[in-house]
Structures are given as C-alpha cells and as structure tokens.
Amino acid sequence: MGDTSFYGKGLTIDTSQKITVVTQFITADGTSTGALSEIRRIYVQNGKVIQNSKANISGMSAYDSITEAFCAAQKTAFNDTNIDYPVGADHSKPGVARGTCATTSGVPADVESQSPNFSVTYSNIRFGDIGSTYGTSTTVSSTASTSMTTSSAAASTSTSTGTAAHVMGPGTPA
C-alpha cells in the first residue's frame, strides 16, 4: 500500500515472471483453533523468498501485514474512505492511485491489446503449517493458457497457524 516500486513488470515482484504467493493466517495462540490475529503475505520468485512490502502512507507506520492496528491506522489515514472518484482527484492522496492502468478506459479490449499474451495460472494449490507450503526445493508447476484466461482457479484454507499458496504465471499485468 503506497509502495509503487514493489509489484509490477521489472519491479521487486516482477509480474513478467512466475510468482508463488503465500498467505499466512496467524492466530493469537499459534494454534489452528486460535483467534485470527494477523494475515501475512510473502512471495517466492526465482527461488527467493520475498517479504511483503511495507505500507508507505503518510500518517501510518510501515505495516507489512493485516492486523487490528493496521486496520485502525488505515481507516485514520484514509479518513475511512476508498477514494477512486472523481477520476481527476489528486493521485498523491492516499487511496486515489490505482496502478498504471489508464483511468480513461476499463474496456477489456484496451487491456487485451496492451497485453495480448496475458495469462494467469493457478496451480499446485497447497495448505499446511507455516513454512510448509513453499521453499526453494519445492517445484511449482505452471501450465500455458490462452490470452486473458484463468485456469484451475482455486482457494485454500489452512491448518495450524497455516498458510495458503498459489502461483501467478508470467505475463500477469501490474
């Protein structure tokens, strides 16, 4: 949130390459039945584990996961709004910028013409204890798909203080 150098083509998380996205559901007591206290996201790309970026919003601490404190700070920083209109709003204000896509379109044909080979592949969905669903010794498969399609879409939940992991294929737009 607010870190425009983290996720995109050629950035820290390079969306032109395969990405494994790991979501960790952490409980207050570290058990599978405890109260959810934090949701953390990490990434694996080219065998390297990459921690989530830190929030870069004026008035907020540099959070890198979703917690009660993060939610409270986010509501204060954004004045409890999710601004995306008017389209001409100042993009330097929290909540206004929406990535690199033009605000003048939204037409699927525009996106398809700019990224003709775009695909997202969800594969090798795993769930398990923290740290058990990813690693450099784990090979995550990917399959080719046609332009603008999604295959094998799925979600998972976890056990213990668990993790869910999924893969995004090369060509995923920022």
154 closest CA partner among 141, 144, 167: 167
Q: How confident is the model at residue 57 (pLDDT cuts 50, 70, 90)?
A: confident
- The two tokens of residue 150 are 């999604």
Q: Is the pLDDT at 158 greater than 60, yes or no?
A: no
More confident call, 147 vs 33? 33
- In terms of Cβ atoms closer than 10 Å to its own Cβ (0-12, 13-18, 19+), residue 161 is buried
Q: What is the pLDDT of residues 96-154, one digit of tens each?
A: 766 666 667 677 888 788 888 888 888 878 888 888 887 644 443 333 333 333 333 33
The C-alpha atoms of residue 2 and residue 63 are separated, in whole angstroms, by 11
Can you give the pLDDT at residue 118? 80
Mean pLDDT is lowest, of 62-66, 70-74, 97-101, 133-137, for 133-137
| Cα-Cα-Cα-Cα dihedral sign, residues 92, 93, 98, 99 | positive
Can you give the pLDDT at residue 54? 93
Q: Is the pTM of this model over 0.75?
A: no
The C-alpha atoms of residue 50 and residue 150 are separated, in whole angstroms, by 24
Across residues 155-160, what is the average pLDDT? Answer: 36
| Domains in the chain: boundaries | 7-168
Q: What is the pLDDT of residues 159-172, one digit of tens each?
A: 334 445 555 555 44
> Cα 122 vs. chain centroid, distance in angstroms?
14
- In terms of Cβ atoms closer than 10 Å to its own Cβ (0-12, 13-18, 19+), residue 150 is exposed
Can you give the pLDDT at residue 114? 81
